[in-house]
Structure 1
Amino acid sequence: MTDSSSTLRNGLRILDLLEKTSGLSLTDISKQLGINKSTAYRLLATLIEEHRVKKIQLRYSLVHADFHSRLEQSSSLNPISIPVSNKILDKFDTTAFIGILDKSNVVITQVFPKDSGFSEFRVLGNVTPVHLSALGKAIVAFLPKDSQHKILNDLSFTVGTKYTLDDQNIFQRNLDVIKNTGFALDDEESSLGIRCLAVPIFRNDQVIASFGLSGTFQSLPRTKLQKIAKQLARSSQEITNEFF
């Protein structure tokens, strides 16, 4: 059997396995299929890129057909792959991300790692409620009010940390601030010790995605947030000007 045939067969086996469950860890998939972890991880990363599999926290599960339909029909979810040049990324000394909206969640569809290590891609395909993510907030804040209200009404306001904005009225006020300032901040709201900054990406004056950075307090110090946000906004505008 050729390597390509073996890869395809193992990828199909993963899909068949996940179809029978509500989600499995990397260790479970590796054990149940008799595939070593590094191989299973690479296959899962590819399936996430192809939007066949999603990862929520440490569990992998299938992406259902209605998600693909929304990807094709909704302008807010199109395009999935947004070209970002190294020239833009060289401005930032931390990992960058692209996020798109899926109902009341944001999905990380692209990762631009600071280092070449494979571990940076672990969040690819992660699905997070918009109130727990700077990427999500940066999109929702710039949606029309009726779309925004629908998302807020659908949110369960899951608590990530003691800093999570878990009240609808407070979150609405935060979205208004984001629209005025032009950038969204997740300051330990989803993970303690981690700060995220994001800005919207527009096409034809409509928000279609978000572009953000994530890092420690050292890599994204509070004293430099305004400056970094302005750089991010300029980079987002460059993406719009060049590709949309």
Structure 2
Amino acid sequence: MTSTTVTKAYRILEYLSINGPSPLQQIMEALDLPKATVYRLAETLVELEVLQKVGPQYRANWQKKRPLHHPIMNSWRSFGIMQKFVNQFNLPIYVGILDDDEVLIVQVVPRSQHPDDSTKLGERLPVNISAMGKCLIAFGKDPLPELSQQCGTSYAIREEALLKQNLAVIRHKGYALDDEENVIGLRCLAVPICVQNQAVACLGTSAPIKNLSRRKISQIVNSLKTYSRQLSNIMMEE
């Protein structure tokens, strides 16, 4: 799946998440895309369970409370930067932002031959059980939200005092780690995307522990930080 295809798929998902269930003709006219392209991508998103098809209409499996106009989402340059990371490590890469005290994944660049990576698009997570959430809180200006006591595994941080200690470690190291806190067997990393020394988004990746060993963390984090700085520069220019 190319970055162009991902962009078109995201536009379809975003349109449906904001405007509600719509037929094929309405989507293609609103987005000015060929009918064949909209049909192919919409049907793929249905197979991935990102969209549902009810009669002649498609609907998103998640709903935005407001449109998210974020410079990082629509820049061709940003796709190219993130694709370099995917090619380098054969890991997916995500962009997350804070939205209503949750992490919302607003961009995904999947691995080749792994279109299921795109199902992360639109996913929401409590901040205290995800690397991306902890990263955004650690490097942002938002106050600590109410911590989720239901989601995550037994490794998740659910006490405010412990989370504050973890946030201090994250600020010191420059990255956040989710070590099986959300899903057993899954390790996640995240670094901030900063504008004027404040996180406006974050860049993350995840993989089974066997594919993202501790000895690889330093190399992956260094690359994420490099690409994050490049994305920050793009955001300051736009």
Q: TM-score, normalised by structure 1?
A: 0.68
Does the alignment pair 1:220 with 2:212?
yes
| Residue of structure 2 equivalent to 1:111 | 108
Q: Give, in whole Å, the separation in 2 of the partners of 1:190 and 1:42.
A: 21
Shift of residue 242 of structure 1?
4.0
Aligned length: 193
Shift of residue 41 of structure 1?
4.4
3-state SS, counterpart of residue 84 of structure 1: helix
Name stretches of at least 5 consecutive residues in structure 2 with no aligned partner.
1-11, 23-41, 53-58
Q: Give, in whole Å, the separation in 2 of the partners of 1:42 and 1:216.
A: 20
Give runs of aligned pairs for residues 169-208 of structure 1, distance below 5 A: 169-208=161-200
Q: Give, in whole Å, the separation in 2 of the partners of 1:119 and 1:87.
A: 19
3-state SS, counterpart of residue 201 of structure 2: strand
| Residue of structure 2 equivalent to 1:163 | 155
Q: Which portions of structure 1, spanning 4 or more consecutive aligned residues, are displaced by more than 4 angstroms?
A: 36-39, 41-46
Q: Give, in whole Å, the separation in 2 of the partners of 1:227 and 1:88.
A: 11
Give runs of aligned pairs for residues 59-98 of structure 1, distance below 5 A: 60-64=61-65, 67-68=66-67, 71=68, 78-79=70-71, 81=73, 83-85=78-80, 86-98=83-95
Q: Give, in whole Å, the separation in 1 of the partners of 2:148 and 2:105.
A: 20
Shift of residue 158 of structure 1?
2.9
Q: Give, in whole Å, the separation in 1 of the partners of 2:159 and 2:230.
A: 35
Contact 1:142 1:207 in 2 (8 A): yes
Name stretches of at least 5 consecutive residues in structure 1 with no aligned partner.
1-6, 18-35, 47-52, 55-59, 73-77
Contact 1:45 1:124 in 2 (8 A): no
For residue 139 of structure 2, what is the amino acid of its counterpart?
A: F
| Residue of structure 2 equivalent to 1:40 | 46
RMSD between aligned residues: 3.2
Shift of residue 156 of structure 1?
3.2
| Residue of structure 2 equivalent to 1:135 | 132
Q: Give, in whole Å, the separation in 2 of the partners of 1:136 and 1:118.
A: 24
Contact 1:199 1:212 in 2 (8 A): yes
| Residue of structure 2 equivalent to 1:148 | 143
Q: Give, in whole Å, the separation in 2 of the partners of 1:79 and 1:37.
A: 28
Q: TM-score, normalised by structure 2?
A: 0.70
Q: Which moved more, 1:116-125 or 1:177-186?
A: 116-125
Q: Give, in whole Å, the separation in 2 of the partners of 1:91 and 1:38.
A: 26
| Residue of structure 2 equivalent to 1:15 | 20
Q: Give, in whole Å, the separation in 1 of the partners of 2:213 and 2:203.
A: 18
- Provide closer, same or farther for how the CA distance between residues 117 and 105 of structure 1 changes in structure 2, counting only shifts above 3 A: same
Q: Give, in whole Å, the separation in 2 of the partners of 1:44 and 1:159.
A: 21
